[in-house]
Amino acid sequence: MEFESTIGLEVHVELSTNTKIFCGCSTEFGGIPNSHVCPVCLGLPGSIPMINKKVIEYAIKAGLALNCSIANNSRMDRKNFFYPDCPKNYQITQDKFPLCRNGYIEIEGENNKEKKIRIERIHIEEDAAKLIHTENGTLVDYNRSGVPLIEIVSKPDIESPKEATMYLQKLKSILQAIGVSDCKMEQGSLRCDGNISVKEKTCIKLGVRTELKNINSFKALEKAFEYEIKRHIKAIENGEKIERETRRWDDEKGRTSVMRSKEQANDYRYFPDGDLVAIKISDEDVKRIKKTIPELPYEMAERFEKEFKISKYDAAVLTSNLKIADFFENAAKLSGNPKSAANWIMGDMSKFMNEKSISIEDLKFTSSELADLIKLVDSHKISNNIGKKVIEEMFETGESPYDIVNKKGLAQNNNEGEIYEIVKKVILKNPKSVQDYKNGKKKAAKFIIGMIMKETKGNANPEIVNKLVNKELR
Ligand SMILES: [Zn+2]
């Protein structure tokens, strides 16, 4: 039997405003527990919330970057439930009238085809407090209470765990690029829930849906959905019934378990929050916010492909981090050799940065110095191999490539006459290799070239050496 899965994601993103959604308390991560609080975010009776204008602007910005239409009229609602992390016994969120609707993200889906994952809605809401479970009981930190969130709900257009990861990665890169969130999954500023159903390929009716919670990393996202798909398939094959329920992903045990069944589902009794006025957004507001959206990573990748004639893969890697993209663009323009700039950044530079775990901001040299190095190679002042030594030195000392080449005497010797003398000398000294070569061992030439490069401390122009050696041995 062949099966297919249908996945939808609900992503909560903390907005990086300085203050909370309904009060002036700081949104800073960490801090002494319960130090960023006031009567509003503690939910004390009689306190009145006031909406933070920046939250609405950020949410609209996200909506526009994700191709949504923005509602001219929307409002805040109360979602009623009792839980210790929610001191008012209701969460202020948006129910029927969200700020943004009908957007999409394009991903490269399975079988490498461009695919649209539709976004049903984006709404704003307040975050809950954080519960900290200890041996002696549970503690509550209200610092997170009232931190602004947007919830981005996709349509069930995702077909595989891999597509889910691609969707989330693209979503993250867009939100980071427009500056509305740092999207740090490890700090909880990007959180992901999902729902999934599996059916036989030939079956028209969708399978029973289960919800998945507690997915805390990209790895967990893929593993959790893979686990659920297997679980569903096994149940279908065994003729077992799949319950409509919410399940929690346990990363350590690598499995999901039941959190609550449908019978326990809450009726949240949504109704408009009477303390907050309706949100009215004019077309001018939308236009003004639209202007603040910078070039998005995928747009930049497309431009790099066209403008710099680099491969789609290279463009995607280079734009996965905006700082690296800037570094590349500068070096490409200044050196006039984009392909070489891409090679240095994705090759030697990323190797060193990984080894020493340093980021591009912490480099001791600039993009214009990388361009200088490329120019040294392109003008045959140094060979590519010597370039590798130079960039290593640039990492260590931050000296300019010119200084390194001069100081260490690394300049390439392009003097054919001089090189020819050395070639003759080495050939004279190695009659056996010459004989080997003449007997058909072509490898012997490599040995001779190696000896010549050694003699010249690697400075001889390799093309000239090759040419001369081949000529002499012929
Ligand atoms: Zn507060």
From ligand 1's centre to the CA of 38, what distance in Å? Answer: 4
User: Separation of 97 CA from ligand 1 center, angstroms?
Assistant: 25
CA 309 to each of CA 314, 327, 366, 368, 437: distance values in angstroms, whole numbers, following the listed order? 10, 17, 23, 20, 41
Percent of the chain predicted with pLDDT > 90: 65
| DSSP three-state, residue 281 | coil
- Cα(49) to centroid(ligand 1), Å: 9
- Tally of CB atoms within 10 A around 83: 12
The alpha carbon of 94 and the centre of ligand 1 are apart by a number of angstroms equal to 20
- Give distance in angstroms: CA of 392 to centre of ligand 1: 50
Domains of the chain: 3-289 (no CATH), 297-407 (no CATH), 416-473 (1.10.10.410)
The pLDDT assigned to 23 comes to 96
Q: Phi/psi zone of residue 33: left (φ > 0), alpha (ψ -120 to 50 degrees), beta?
A: beta
CB 227 within 8 A of CB 255: yes
Q: Which residues have CB under 8 Å from 250's CB, separation 6+?
A: 214, 256, 257
Is residue 65 within 8 Å of residue 174, measured between CB atoms?
Answer: yes
Ligand 1 center–CA 319 separation, angstroms: 38
Which tokens hold the place of 267? Answer: 């009726």
The tens digit of pLDDT for each residue in 195-250 reads 999 998 888 888 889 999 888 889 999 999 999 999 999 998 898 888 888 899 98
Answer yes or no: are the C-beta atoms of 316 and 286 closer than 8 Å.
no
Determine which of 37-41, 220-224, 446-450 has the lowest per-residue pLDDT on average: 446-450
**What is the CA(41)–ligand 1 centre distance, in A?**
4
- Write the CA distances from 194 to 107, 184, 211, 254, integer angstroms: 18, 18, 6, 17
For range 283-288, the mean pLDDT: 96
Ligand 1 center–CA 100 separation, angstroms: 26
pLDDT of the residue at 207: 86
Q: What is the pLDDT of residues 85-118, one digit of tens each?
A: 999 999 999 999 999 999 999 998 777 788 999 9
pLDDT digits (tens, 9 = 90+) for 129-152: 999 999 999 999 999 999 999 999
| Exposure class string for 139-164: b at 16+ Cβ within 10 A, else e | ebbbbbbbbbbbbbbbbbbbbbbebb
Rounded to the nearest angstrom, the distance between the alpha carbon of 187 and the centre of ligand 1 is 20
Q: How much distance in Å is there from the Cα of 47 to the middle of ligand 1? A: 10
Ligand 1 midpoint to CA 182 (Å)? 21
Q: What is the pLDDT of residue 143?
A: 95
Centre of ligand 1 from the C-alpha of residue 55, in Å: 15
- Buried b / exposed e over 405-436, threshold 16 CB at 10 Å, is beeeebebbeeeeebeebbeebbeebeebbeb
Lowest mean pLDDT across 232-241, 259-268, 398-407: 259-268
pLDDT value at 471 more than 90: no
CB 14 within 8 A of CB 127: yes
CA of 145 to the centre of ligand 1 (A): 8
Distance (Å) from CA 276 to ligand 1 centroid = 16
Question: 239 C-alpha to center of ligand 1: Å?
Answer: 52
Kindly tell me if the per-residue pLDDT of 257 is higher than 70.
yes
pLDDT category at 442 given cuts 50, 70, 90 is: confident
Q: Are 155 and 6 in contact (CB under 8 A)?
A: no
Q: What is the DSSP letter of 346?
A: I
Place of tokens 């463009």: 315
Ligand 1 centre from 22 Cα, in Å? 7
Confidence category of residue 370, pLDDT binned at 50, 70, 90: very high
Is residue 265 predicted with pLDDT exceeding 70? Answer: no
- Dihedral Cα 212, 218, 224, 230, nearest 10 deg: 130
Task: Look at residue 351 in the predicted model and tell me its pLDDT.
Answer: 92
Question: How many angstroms separate the CA atoms of 340 and 376, rounded?
Answer: 12
CA–centroid distance, 87 to ligand 1, in Å, is 12
Interval 4-30: pLDDT, tens: 999 999 999 999 999 999 999 999 988
Judge whether residue 314 has pLDDT over 90.
yes
- Residues 81 and 70: their CA atoms lie apart, in Å, by 29
At 440, the pLDDT band (50, 70, 90 cuts) reads confident
CA 156 to mean position of chain CA atoms: 22
What are the structure tokens assigned to 5, written together?
């899965």
In the block, which residue shows the tokens 């300019």? 400
Mean pLDDT over residues 55-78, rounded? 97
Indicate the pLDDT class of residue 338, thresholds 50, 70 and 90. very high
Distance from the CA of 273 to the center of ligand 1, in angstroms?
18
C-alpha 36 – ligand 1 centre gap (Å): 7
CB of 347 closer than 8 Å to CB of 332: no
- Please tell me the distance between residue 26's alpha carbon and the centre of ligand 1 in angstroms: 8
Distance 35 CA to ligand 1 centre (A): 10
Q: Are 198 and 229 in contact (CB under 8 A)?
A: yes
- Written as six digits, the tokens of 215 are 């997915």
**Residues 16/21/23/25 CA torsion (nearest 10 deg):** -30
Cα 19 to middle of ligand 1, angstroms? 8
Look over the chain and give the mean of its residue pLDDT values, rounded to a whole number.
Answer: 91
d(CA 260, CA 243): 10
What's the 126 CA to ligand 1 centre distance in angstroms? 11
Q: Above 70 in pLDDT, residue 263? A: no
Question: Ligand 1 center to residue 50 CA distance, Å?
Answer: 11
Give the contacts of 388 (CB within 8 A, at least 6 positions apart). Answer: 348
| pLDDT for res 446 | 86
In 164-294, DSSP assigns E strands to: 190-200, 210-215, 245-250, 255-261, 271-272, 279-280
The whole-angstrom separation of Cα 382 and Cα 402 is 10
What is the 98 CA–ligand 1 centroid distance (Å)?
A: 24
62 band by pLDDT with thresholds 50, 70 and 90:
very high
Using the mean position of ligand 1's atoms as its centre, give its distance from the Cα of residue 131 in Å: 17
